[in-house]
Structure 1
Amino acid sequence: QEALILSLRRERRLGVKQLRNELIRQHDLTLSLDTIHPTLVRSGEQVLKRPRRWRKGERRYSRPIPGTASRWTSVRIRPGVYQYTAIDDCSRYKVLDVYSRATGANTLDFLERVIEEMPFPIQRIQTDRGREFFAEA
């Protein structure tokens, strides 16, 4: 069993789960992961590194014109401290403010601040659907 595990590992560079699947499929040998892994460790096999796949030049949530969409969220930093954030999808222009509570009134106050600070008009607001964005002020 040990020789079979090591030969599959060296020939095909399979991980522990893939080794188990190959042993079951090709050799009708059912072994647990807790049997295969110590065998690899004892023999001094190196941990396989996963290849990183980079997405070149791709940017999530990007818009061609500033102000067409801005993303809003509120985050609880600690009890009694809530951070409101608005980020424009095109320019990545950010507006941040801190409030003591996440309420509808504070959301309206933040909306006024965003309108004042953003250098372009806002056409659409996307939220994380938090209750503070749907509450009545």
Structure 2
Amino acid sequence: MVKACPFSMRTLKYWLSHYRRYGMGGLDNESRRPKSHPWETPIRIKERIIELRRKTKKCALKLQWQLAKENIILHKNTIHKIIKAEGLTRKYRVRKLKYKYIGVPLQLGELLEIDVKYVPKLLENRQYYQFTAIDCASRWRYLKIYEDYSNLSAINFLKELITIAPFRIRAVKTDNGSYFTNRYTGYEKSTDPLNPTLQCF
């Protein structure tokens, strides 16, 4: 049987003895937790800590000082665990601040977002780029295809956008892409060539 079963002979004998003594209930998994602990705090000391806590409302450190006068030496963490296990710890209410944000509607042309993306497919084996401008208030948009995404293309797109837009453009929002900033041309103008100051065109 041991050869056909993946368990050891000792385990099989243990199961057999429990089955003969307790029946099918003896084969149930039982907890291996010890019934007692040699370093466990005595019951009378626990009751004394609980009594002092309910009577004086002192913290674990002050209870440690008071117990030391009674020749009971315990660590403050042990006292705190006993208090916490009995549910005698203080519950502090955390006040959650609720902020009410008031959204101010934008006006036409107050903010336009400009971004660049790759055209998904190649046209005549060439890669093209799409410049897109969207008005945050009316969602009006304007887009144009360019052969590259250089500073010159970004400037030309912005000039055409100012001319074509049916409203006055007050602000433009872009990312820190090299085609919208002086990332490459700002090295000569910056006092620190290794850390140029990025500025929009």
- Normalised by the length of structure 1, the TM-score is 0.51
1:119 is the counterpart of 2:158 = no
1:132 is the counterpart of 2:179 = yes
**Residues 25-61 of structure 1, C-alpha deviation per residue, up to 9 Å, x if partnerless?**
xxxxxxxxxxxxxxxxxxxxxxxxxxxxxxxxxxxx9
Give the structure 2 partner of residue 102 of structure 1. Answer: 149
Identical amino acids, percent of aligned pairs: 27
Give the structure 1 partner of residue 131 of structure 2. Answer: 84
Q: Say which of 87, 103, 107 aligns to 1:65.
A: 107
- Displacement after TM superposition at 1:63 (Å): 4.1
Q: Which moved more, 1:123-132 or 1:74-83?
A: 74-83
Q: In structure 2, give the amino acid aligned to 1:70.
A: L
Does the 8 Å CA contact 1:103/1:132 hold for their aligned counterparts?
Answer: yes
- Work out the CA distance in 1 between the residues paired with 2:104 and 2:164: 20
| Count of matched residue positions in the alignment of Structure 1 and Structure 2 | 77
Give the structure 2 partner of residue 57 of structure 1. Answer: none
Larger Rg: 2
In the TM superposition, what are the counterparts of 1:34-53 in structure 2 within 5 Å? none
Q: In structure 2, give the amino acid aligned to 1:99.
A: Y
- Work out the CA distance in 1 between the residues paired with 2:104 and 2:118: 26
Q: In structure 2, give the amino acid aligned to 1:66.
A: L
SS at 2:176's partner residue? coil
Q: In structure 1, give the amino acid aligned to 2:153.
A: N
Between 1 and 2, higher relative CO (CA 8 Å, sep ≥ 6) is seen in: 1
Structure 1: gaps of 5 or more residues:
1-60
**Residues 105-137 of structure 1, C-alpha deviation per residue, up to 9 Å, x if partnerless?**
000110111001111111110012211111458
Q: In structure 1, give the amino acid aligned to 2:116.
A: S
Measured on the aligned residues, the alpha-carbon RMSD in Å equals: 2.2
SS at 1:110's partner residue? helix
